[in-house]
Amino acid sequence: MTSAQRPTTPTLIRGGWVLTSAAAASGVPAAIRDGAVLVDGDRIAAVGEYAALKAGHPDAVERGGPHDLVAPGFVNAHGHFSEGLITGIGSQYTLWEWLHKLITPVNPTMDAEKAYAGTMLQGIQLLRSGVTTANDMFCSDPDPDGPITPGVVRALDELGLRGVLAFGSGDADREFDMQPIVDEWDALREACAASSLSTFRVGIAAVGRTTPESFARSVDYARSGGHGVHIHLHEVREEVTATLQRTGRTAVGYCAAEGLFAAPTLAAHCVWVDRADRELLAEHGVGVAHNPVANAILASGVAPVAELRALGVDVGIGVDGAASNDAQDFLQAMKTAPLLARIRDLQATAMSAREAFELATIGGARALRMDDAIGSLEPGKKADLVVFDGESPTIGVVHDPYQAIVFVAGSREVKDVWVDGAPSVADFDVVNVDPAEAVARARPLAARLVAEAGLERLSAFTGAPLDGTEIP
């Protein structure tokens, strides 16, 4: 995104309800009836009642409307753009099987062109569901022909989507050593440094995918460089058992003992965490990404979100990857979070719509330690926000604005999305790229990927690869 795409005059974004996710100490109300947000440059200049802001800024360009719902842009706390071209395949497996039968064959086939195309497809879906920040771990083998992940940065810059980007791989039982992974980190870090929207984190796919030597090198890279970390932890019971057998500790305990948590760490999943694990996460300020849809599809379990939050752990919501969710619709994930909590506890009060909304906004920002800049609508923060169409029959009648967004609204109600003070979605669709061109670019690459990875056998319905040709 360039400054030329950002409006040169202030914009007043109006809503019948403005839900801010602001802390009480900020002085900004959590919910404002007939409110507005004043955007000036890349920042929020003011938040308050529409009439007062309109009177004080009569020349501001107006967006939104008297019945719309205005919210902070959603923070997708965990995803995998590396799965962008393999949506809707292999979901008959639990995670351990899914990794072996789908992801392992795909990893060696990735390159920068596929990374760009897959990110473009999935980034469009994220924007259309109100996401303004995507915390992503690109998981693949390094490409000997050149770095892969700069393609992710390029796609997000073109889309106008904020990224927190990591590359996650491992050298355990692999044909390459740690150095190609470090080279990919270097390339991604440099690409992020040149971007106005993306920042870098060190990716560690999982404790079990790294040798002790490479794990130590990962810790040193993060701590010495002042980088955050993005890692999978305790997604399934098998991971806990395998790590205990190999190291004598749980994966959480191992990370704490080896010094990883001295770096700002975001841990994805944390489904199978016992009391000691939860206390370690809280003690070290580790943020957690809850991925309710993916955990349900892969039969991984339900994360103990209430227990984590009770200990002070910051929890956000993630869609996870496009091959494990499989849709990259953040609104589905936000709705599923309270549904699973209620099923788990058999209590309708297990998680409210307002709590789910907070996880999706300021909760994700806190988990990433970015709450000073994003996650709520407060003066001085980045102008990342989403406008829901109040003229839609779906949310045309609003009794509780939190329930309207969490339980009722769908991606069809996402009218406008602003990232860094510029519209990335306007009048219901992305504005910076052509979705039809993105789809046309992705189709042949997806077919090639499936052929290279030998995944035709997983096209169970048609018995044919994605390009429609017959299998001999």
How far, in Å, CA of 153 to CA of 145, rounded? 18
- Tell whether the model's pLDDT for residue 459 goes beyond 60: no
Q: Once rounded to an integer, what is the mean pLDDT over residues 396-416?
A: 97
CB 120 within 8 A of CB 438: yes
pTM (2 decimals)? 0.94
d(C-alpha 70, C-alpha 67), whole Å: 10
Determine which of 114-118, 173-177, 247-251, 265-269 has the lowest per-residue pLDDT on average: 173-177
Mean pLDDT of 229-247: 94
What average pLDDT does this structure show over 278-307?
Answer: 96
What is the predicted pLDDT for the residue at 176?
63
What pLDDT does residue 173 have?
A: 67
Q: Taking all residues of the chain, what is their mean pLDDT, rounded to a whole number?
A: 93
CATH code: domain 74-367 is: 3.20.20.140
Q: What is the pLDDT of residue 341?
A: 97
The pLDDT score that the predictor gives to residue 124 is: 98
Tokens of 440: 């046309």
What's the rounded mean pLDDT across residues 348-375? 98
Assess whether the region 3-72+376-429 and the region 74-367 belong to the same CATH fold: no
Is residue 382 very low, low, confident or very high in pLDDT (cuts 50, 70, 90)?
very high
pLDDT over 70 at 465, yes or no: no
May I ask the CATH architecture of the domain 3-72+376-429?
Roll (2.30)
Which three-class secondary structure string do you get for 437-472? HHHHHHHHHHHHHHHHHCCHHHCCCCCCCCCCCCCC
Q: Is the pLDDT of residue 313 over 70?
A: yes
CA dihedral 314, 319, 325, 329 (to 10 degrees): 150
Rounded to an integer, the average pLDDT of 40-52 is 98
Look at residue 467 and tell me whether its pLDDT is greater than 50: no
24-44: average pLDDT: 96
- Residue 88, sorted as left (phi over 0), alpha (psi -120 to 50) or beta, turns out to be left
Q: Is the pLDDT of residue 413 over 60?
A: yes
pLDDT for 3: 43
Q: Is the pLDDT confidence value at 178 over 60? A: yes
Enumerate the domain spans of the chain.
Answer: 3-72+376-429, 74-367
Mean pLDDT of 169-174: 73
